[in-house]
């Protein structure tokens, strides 16, 4: 069980709930604070003008709401903002969104009734996922539209994904004996006013981006191995004089992966001696996509480390407005719902992963172009040249997908559009940034699947399995178990899907 309450959640704990099947539990002391926050706000709000309790919302806040209409006001807010479009978020993204919202409420600064956190916890543990649409939020005043669809389900309306299909919320609640929340003070505004959609998707992006980085390191090591590159560009001595942690970590991991390889060459054994040739057949230095991997993937490592720090901080923050402080007996109005921290980090991840996919595409091109590698047949064709096609078709897919990544990498962070009658005059677009980043990540798994397929064909062409490092041989064996060597042409799309699933389900190395 992963407990939410007195201590900050980590990315690993979120991963254990999302992908490891662990359930959430709510700490008793934290629940007591949630109740104290609610009871304070209920008492404090009497006879006072407090935004979102007895006022309208946004530019309509100048209108006072009568006491008899305050509860209906919250229902109106939820229903009117349940207006998203596009696809529903994946169950994984929605589950992460719910964890992020629950984490924010458990800080006990939202003034919600305890039944809100109990129902959220139950929905997460029972794998009931609201239909939350991808399009709608602008990431300031929080992810209003996305979180309104969460709130719609919490009041027993809308639709949920349960048992592999969308069903009316009321029917699923009846089946599971779940009771919708009521409106007590400000539950509508408290639920929809926060950064939990972008944060939830951002957490999933971090988990998957770290897998991509691990696989890119592994595949970059393997390509250096099978082309029998020199090893000094990975040496501790060379990389230590460049003072970036990411570069040094990447180089160290590649050296670790290549331990025991009988293919990687040691430069002094070949070139640091008297040579008679005037023109060398072997390259003295490799192409940049092989030689500069620590310098290219190092910034990706550092970017993900910084993004994890900030997105996890957001996960453990209070992101709604106003903020209720029952200890100081006050209510503070401000802008904690603004998603700039997450938005900027999502754009940085998106750019970094696009560069990773570009590196993979260049390494793939090197393997497929016999005029560059002087080692393999064109397009890694193990059949009859001119008659068979090898990897020619799948290379088009890799090139096309990387090109899409490059276009998607335009930053959302600097693409604010004023709206809400200019009340929201500068916004973060954080949820858009997170969802676009998830698309880039999905694309990159597809590109790496093509790279893996090609790498294994190269190993079989060289018949070098017994000369590989132990780690490389393990990867070769595991993927060959789901993707056999091929010579004759046949559709490859199902093989690519299998390899992509394998990459997603395995974290090859830990940093």
Could you write out the DSSP letters of every residue in 227-238?
TT-BSGGG-HHH
* Cβ contact 189:55 at 8 Å: no
129 is catalytic: no
- What 70-73 contacts at long range (C-beta under 8 Å, 24+ apart), as own/partner pairs, is 71/183, 73/188
Of the candidates 9, 33, 35, the one whose C-alpha atom is nearest the C-alpha of residue 22 is 9
- DSSP letter at 486 equals -
* Cβ contact 101:149 at 8 Å: no
* Angstrom distance (rounded) from CA 127 to CA 160: 10
Distance, CA of 256 to chain centre: 26
Residue 166 bridge partners (DSSP): 161
Tokens of 465: 């399995």
Tokens of 183: 């409106």
Contacts of 23 (CB under 8 A, 6+ apart): 1, 2, 17, 124, 125
* Cβ contact 491:239 at 8 Å: no
Tokens of 373: 């590698």
What are the distances in angstroms from CA 250 to CA 121, 203, 244, 259, 467?
39, 22, 10, 14, 23
Helix (H, G, I), strand (E, B) or coil at 165: strand
| 3-state class percentages of the chain: helix first, strand second, coil last, to nearest 5 | 55, 5, 35
- DSSP letter at 389 equals -
Catalytically annotated residue among 51, 129, 301, 502: 51
* Cβ contact 409:354 at 8 Å: yes
Distance, CA of 90 to chain centre: 12
The CB density around residue 488, as the number of other CB atoms within 10 Å, is: 9
* Angstrom distance (rounded) from CA 339 to CA 343: 6
* Angstrom distance (rounded) from CA 457 to CA 207: 29
Residues catalogued as catalytic: 51
């Amino acid at each position: 069980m992963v407990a939410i309450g007195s201590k900050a959640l980590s990315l690993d704990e979120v991963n254990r709930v999302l992908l490891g099947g662990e359930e959430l539990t709510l700490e008793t002391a934290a629940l007591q604070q949630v109740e104290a926050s609610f009871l304070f706000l209920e008492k404090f709000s009497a006879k006072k003008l407090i935004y979102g309790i007895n006022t309208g919302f946004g530019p309509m806040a100048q209108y006072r709401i009568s006491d008899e209409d305050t509860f209906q006001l919250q229902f109106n807010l939820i229903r009117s903002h349940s207006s998203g479009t596009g696809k529903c978020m994946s169950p994984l993204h929605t589950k992460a969104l719910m964890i992020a919202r629950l984490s924010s409420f458990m800080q006990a600064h939202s003034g919600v009734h305890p039944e809100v956190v109990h129902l959220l916890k139950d929905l997460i543990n029972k794998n009931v996922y609201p239909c939350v649409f991808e399009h709608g939020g602008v990431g300031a005043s929080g992810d209003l539209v996305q979180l309104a669809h969460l709130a719609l389900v919490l009041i027993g309306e809308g639709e949920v994904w349960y048992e592999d299909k969308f069903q009316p919320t009321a029917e699923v609640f009846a089946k599971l004996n779940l009771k919708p929340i009521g409106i007590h003070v400000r539950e509508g505004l408290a639920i929809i006013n926060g950064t939990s959609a972008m944060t939830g998707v951002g957490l999933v992006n971090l988990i998957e981006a770290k897998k991509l980085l691990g696989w890119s390191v592994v595949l970059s090591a393997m390509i250096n191995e099978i082309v029998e590159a020199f090893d000094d560009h990975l040496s501790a001595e060379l990389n230590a004089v460049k003072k970036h942690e990411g570069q040094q970590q990447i180089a160290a991991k590649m050296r670790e992966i290549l331990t025991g390889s009988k293919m990687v060459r040691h430069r002094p054994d070949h070139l640091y001696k008297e040579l008679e040739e005037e023109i060398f057949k072997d390259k003295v230095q490799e192409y940049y996509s092989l030689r500069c991997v620590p310098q290219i993937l190092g910034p990706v490592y550092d970017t993900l480390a910084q993004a994890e720090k900030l997105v996890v901080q957001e996960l453990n923050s209070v992101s709604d407005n106003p903020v209720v402080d029952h200890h100081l007996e006050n209510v503070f109005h401000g802008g904690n719902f603004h998603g700039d921290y997450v938005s900027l980090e999502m754009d940085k991840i998106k750019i970094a992963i696009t560069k990773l996919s570009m590196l993979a595409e260049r390494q793939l091109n090197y393997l497929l172009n016999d005029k560059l590698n002087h080692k393999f047949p064109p397009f890694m064709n193990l059949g009859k040249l001119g008659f068979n096609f090898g990897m020619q078709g799948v290379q088009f897919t890799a090139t096309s997908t990387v090109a899409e990544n490059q276009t998607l990498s335009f930053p959302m962070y600097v693409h604010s559009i004023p709206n809400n009658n200019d009340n929201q005059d500068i916004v973060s677009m954080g949820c858009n940034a997170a969802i676009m980043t998830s698309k880039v990540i999905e694309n990159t798994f597809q590109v790496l699947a093509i790279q893996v397929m090609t790498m294994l064909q190269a190993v079989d062409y060289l018949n070098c399995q017994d000369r590989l490092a132990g780690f490389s041989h393990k990867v070769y064996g595991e993927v060959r178990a789901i993707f056999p060597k091929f010579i004759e042409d046949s559709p490859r799309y199902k093989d690519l899907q299998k390899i992509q699933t394998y990459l997603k389900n395995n974290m090859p190395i830990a940093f």
